Homo-oligomer: A and B are copies of this chain.
């Protein structure tokens, strides 16, 4: 390949990497905005921990585990001999690597940013009641081992890839992988005090900073330019720009639909639903962003937006307490987006739909099992839930000795 084209491709991929990195800010703001003030420091801590440990873990374990055989350090013993020894293969910085789409280093960094995302998804669902230490242990195992294993099945050219399962940028491989763990964790943790009352009513536990939550969604949407745009794995003009169009239209359609459905259902202009609808549209289009027409994208996004409104209500019925709506966004819309590949776009067909279902089920089974084993083990050993006192007074003061807005006061001039 032309060396200049290789340089362009790599520039695009580095930018996409930066945008996916920024999603961690988006998730942080979204999560703290939709939860209570007394747990803000705790959530921020979890998020900076995830991106930091995620990147180190991906260097030590994940990258090689996910793309076995492709790289120099693909054999286990090497890890122990040469810790942190990731190094490019001979052609890793040339256009011969990865079809000239990017260098080995960009590959590592882009994929590492994705890996960390899976844990971030869980973070929101378990907010306001999980023990920090247990969450950190869970993160290390899930990001370090579980995510790369399911990733290897498809993106590492494993058995799901051979089968014909299609997941362009990770509706299943990233979002559902996070979503399944969120589901298991929420189930094992139980609801926050005050969420589900004995009389069957559902208590509203409002967040503390909706402007920051909204900023988080804008930043996540921006991040998706890189998440989906970068999943082309080159700067191919037609493909990348088409992916951005389907991504943005699905987001817009998801938001608008969630707003309209919730207006119809609850007679309110509900900003939270609009925001989660946008995210649902984004997750929904992720599996097939490169093979959908504009009309397909709008339909997929609209259905995702509808699923958000129904999903949030459905989870409440199941008495599953997900403070930020992560399960509806990432799991339900992740499943929907993956199935949509068999229904709309270039690959639509019964066989494809079957393959999509196999992918969803097999990855779901693996994730549920893994998450259950990790979290259950933590539960029966060190415990996963903070004390009632700590939950009521807030995790910030108990685990961090710190408030989120310690010097904040009201203007009295």
Q: Which residues of A contact B (CB under 8 A)?
A: 2-12, 14-15, 17-19, 21-22, 24-25, 28-29, 32, 36-37, 40-41, 44-45, 48-49, 51-56, 59, 83-87, 93-94, 102-106, 108-109, 112, 132, 205-212, 214-215, 217-219, 221-222, 225, 229, 235-238, 240-242, 244-245, 248-249, 251-253, 255-256, 259, 268-272, 274-275, 278, 293-295, 298, 397, 399-411, 413
Contacts and interface: CB of A to CB of B under 8 A. Distances in A.
8 contacts: A14-B240, A25-B219, A53-B256, A94-B238, A103-B242, A205-B407, A208-B406, A269-B399
A95 to B, nearest CB: 8
Contacts of A24: 218
Among A48, A103, A225, A399, the one with the most B-chain Cβ atoms within 10 Å of its Cβ is A48
A405 B210 contact: yes
Contacts of A103: 237-238, 241-242
Given A11-B11, A18-B19, A48-B275, A294 B86 contact: yes
A53 B260 CA distance: 12
Given A207-B407, A407-B37, A411-B406, A7 B237 contact: yes
A293 B83 CA distance: 12
Given A85-B295, A86-B294, A294-B85, A404 B211 contact: yes
A11 B12 contact: yes
Given A41-B210, A411-B408, A242 B105 contact: yes
A274 B49 contact: yes
B271 A44 contact: yes
A51 B106 CA distance: 31
Contact of A222 (B21, B205, B235): B21
A292 B409 CA distance: 46
A241 B105 contact: yes
B8 A4 contact: yes
B48 A236 contact: no
A240 B25 CA distance: 23
Q: Which 7 A-B pairs have the closest CB atoms?
A: A93-B238, A206-B406, A105-B241, A208-B407, A25-B218, A52-B252, A10-B237
Nearest to A246: B105
A113 to B, nearest CB: 9
A4 B2 CA distance: 8
A111 to B, nearest CB: 12
Given A51-B252, A112-B248, 14 more contacts: A6-B237, A8-B8, A14-B225, A28-B215, A37-B407, A44-B211, A45-B269, A48-B278, A52-B251, A52-B252, A87-B294, A105-B245, A109-B244, A210-B403
Contact of A210 (B109, B219, B402): B402
Contacts of A21: 221-222, 225, 248
A227 to B, nearest CB: 12
A29 B215 contact: yes
Nearest to A95: B237
Nearest to A253: B56
A25 to B, nearest CB: 4
B244 A105 contact: yes
A293 B87 contact: yes
A12 B103 CA distance: 15
A249 B55 contact: yes
A214 B28 contact: yes
A48 B102 contact: no
